[in-house]
């Protein structure tokens, strides 16, 4: 049986996503008493207490389908961010929204422009639509090359992705630089600002993607509850875009794409500003400690605006193995010459610093 004859030929280019090692897998490989999973940019803390309470309150309703329009969450986001409800879409993580944008905007032969390395779903969603990937290498130390991205735009470009802070480098785009970029992008191109890590930004010179959203120009902003809000396990993201695009995204998405628990937990999390501030401060402290230690060890790193730090090492795969043996799980990028190190809780940061000191001290 020639199974390939059943499949669209362009799917041969698409690689299966490879998640980080599960804790069970790691325990089979190492003997460390404590494990710190810092490889997937997850929150090291559980969901907000208010979210956990909201989840408990919805368990008895799981025999029913979820609200297919995510009405209450959409209305709350509208009030919270002062954006009309018709310019908001809710997704099964912002990952789904990237897929929906590609399915909505890209015809075969079109192209999408994005930085590289960056979030791998820009690549996979483009290839699935039989469109061309135009990957623009980062410049300097993990910085997005906006001029290089502009140079790759042509008449068949439909989407440009800007991941800021960028994953895996953690770098942001400055306000003036982004404003100049946005003015030069042709009107036939949709600029998608992926702001999955925006809550972690503490650099006042960095652009905040939502500040540039007006609901008129071809510009969309994607955000998620997976990172700062610690809801990665139940998948909930949201996007802001002009109403005509939102209308078509609703045509393409699944009818019940966001489950009942996700909707309830998201609303409860947004209401708890005090807990948000506490976690922002905890991440900043951990980031500063990690970066100071890398500096002491003479390791080059990208000053981060996210919940991870990119650090350059001569042997990423070898360093990954050495950290793994010490119970610290990070993500290695052998082709990129570095490691993406998640910022854990206080114990996780302590363990990471101790492991790096043993290896490089």
We report the CATH number of the domain holding residue 293 as 3.90.1150.10
Give the model confidence (pLDDT) of 312-328 as tens digits: 999 999 999 999 999 99
Q: Are residues 53 and 186 in the same domain?
A: yes
Residues near 24 by Cβ (< 8 Å), separated by ≥ 6? none
Residue 224, in any domain of the structure? yes
Q: Which of 271, 299, 324 is the last residue of a domain?
A: 271
Burial (0-12, 13-18, 19+ Cβ within 10 Å), 295: exposed
Q: Which of 236, 253, 271 is the last residue of a domain?
A: 271
Q: Which of 227, 243, 271 is the last residue of a domain?
A: 271
Give the model confidence (pLDDT) of 22-58 as tens digits: 778 877 777 778 899 999 999 999 999 999 999 999 9
Mean pLDDT on 335-340: 90
Burial (0-12, 13-18, 19+ Cβ within 10 Å), 236: buried
> Residue 91: which CATH number?
3.40.640.10
Percent of the chain residues topping a pLDDT of 70: 100
Burial (0-12, 13-18, 19+ Cβ within 10 Å), 233: exposed
β-pairing, 328-329 with 308-312? Answer: unpaired
What CA–CA distance (Å, rounded) separates 219 from 189? 9
What CA–CA distance (Å, rounded) separates 195 from 224? 8
Give me the pLDDT at residue 341, please: 99
Q: Are residues 327 and 347 in the same domain?
A: yes
Q: Are residues 92 and 217 in the same domain?
A: yes
Give me the pLDDT at residue 361, please: 87
Residue 133, in any domain of the structure? yes
Give me the pLDDT at residue 245, please: 99
Q: Are residues 255 and 160 in the same domain?
A: yes
Residues near 54 by Cβ (< 8 Å), separated by ≥ 6? 264, 265, 267, 268
Residue 10, in any domain of the structure? no
Closest residue by Cα to residue 352 from 290, 295, 302, 263: 290
Residue 8, in any domain of the structure? no
Q: Are residues 197 and 285 in the same domain?
A: no
Domain tally, the chain: 2
Domain that holds residue 130: 49-271
What CA–CA distance (Å, rounded) separates 150 from 119? 19
Give me the pLDDT at residue 18, please: 84
What CA–CA distance (Å, rounded) separates 210 from 219? 10
Q: Are residues 351 and 255 in the same domain?
A: no
Q: Are residues 346 and 228 in the same domain?
A: no
Q: Are residues 186 and 288 in the same domain?
A: no
Q: Are residues 205 and 280 in the same domain?
A: no
Mean pLDDT on 285-309: 98
Give the model confidence (pLDDT) of 179-217 as tens digits: 999 999 999 999 999 999 999 999 999 999 999 999 999
Residue 9, in any domain of the structure? no
Mean pLDDT on 240-253: 98
- DSSP-derived secondary structure for 286-349: HHHHHHHHHHHTT--BPPPSSSEEEEE-S-HHHHHHHHHHTTEE-EEEGGGTEEEEE---HHHH
The rounded mean pLDDT for the chain is: 96
Residue 1, in any domain of the structure? no
pLDDT surpassing 80 at residue 225:
yes
**114 φ, ψ to 5°?**
-160, 160
- Distances in Å between the Cα of 173 and the Cα atoms of 2, 10, 146, 324 are 48, 33, 9, 32
Contact of 229 with 85, CB cutoff 8 Å: no
Q: Are residues 240 and 313 in the same domain?
A: no
Tokens of 23: 């804790």
- Distances in Å between the Cα of 174 and the Cα atoms of 50, 164, 302 are 34, 10, 15
Cis peptide before 117 (omega within 30 of 0): yes
Mean pLDDT on 73-86: 98
Question: Does the global pTM surpass 0.75?
Answer: yes
Give me the pLDDT at residue 29, please: 77
The pLDDT confidence band at residue 335, using thresholds 50, 70 and 90, is confident
Q: Are residues 180 and 244 in the same domain?
A: yes
Q: Are residues 142 and 231 in the same domain?
A: yes
Percent of the chain residues topping a pLDDT of 90: 92
**326 φ, ψ to 5°?**
-100, 10
Mean pLDDT on 101-115: 98
Residue 111, in any domain of the structure? yes
Residues near 25 by Cβ (< 8 Å), separated by ≥ 6? none
The pLDDT confidence band at residue 19, using thresholds 50, 70 and 90, is confident
Residue 346, in any domain of the structure? yes
């Amino acid at each position: 049986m020639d199974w390939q004859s059943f499949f669209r030929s362009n799917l041969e280019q698409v690689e299966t996503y490879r998640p980080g090692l599960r804790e069970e897998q790691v325990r089979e490989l190492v003997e460390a008493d404590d494990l710190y999973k810092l490889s997937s940019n997850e929150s090291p803390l559980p969901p907000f207490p208010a979210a956990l309470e909201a989840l408990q309150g919805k368990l008895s309703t799981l025999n029913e389908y979820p609200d297919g329009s995510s009405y209450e969450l959409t209305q709350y986001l509208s009030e919270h961010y002062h954006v009309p409800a018709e310019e908001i879409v809710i997704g099964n993580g912002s990952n789904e929204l990237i897929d929906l944008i590609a399915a909505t905007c890209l015809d075969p032969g079109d192209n999408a422009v994005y930085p590289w390395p960056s979030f791998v779903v820009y690549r996979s969603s483009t290839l699935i639509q039989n469109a061309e990937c135009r990957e623009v290498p980062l410049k300097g130390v993990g910085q997005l090359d906006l001029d290089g991205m502009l140079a790759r735009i042509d008449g068949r470009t439909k989407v440009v992705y800007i991941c800021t802070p960028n994953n895996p480098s953690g770098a942001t785009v400055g306000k003036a630089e982004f404003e100049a970029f946005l003015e030069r992008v042709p009107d036939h191109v949709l600029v998608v600002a992926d702001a999955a890590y925006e809550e972690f930004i503490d650099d006042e010179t960095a652009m905040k993607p939502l500040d540039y959203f007006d609901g008129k120009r071809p510009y969309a902003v994607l955000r998620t509850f997976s990172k700062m809000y610690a809801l990665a396990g139940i998948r909930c993201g949201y996007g802001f875009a002009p109403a005509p695009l939102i209308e078509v995204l609703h045509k393409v998405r699944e009818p019940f794409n966001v489950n009942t628990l996700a909707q309830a937990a998201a609303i409860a999390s947004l209401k708890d500003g005090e807990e948000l501030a506490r976690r922002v401060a905890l991440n900043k402290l951990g980031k500063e400690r990690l970066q100071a230690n890398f500096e002491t060890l003479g390791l080059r790193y990208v000053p981060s605006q996210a919940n991870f730090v990119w650090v350059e090492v001569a042997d990423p795969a070898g360093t990954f193995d050495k950290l793994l043996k010490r119970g610290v799980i990070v993500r290695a990028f052998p082709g990129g010459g570095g490691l993406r190190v998640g910022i854990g809780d206080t114990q996780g940061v302590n363990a990471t610093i101790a492991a790096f000191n043993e290896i490089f001290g």
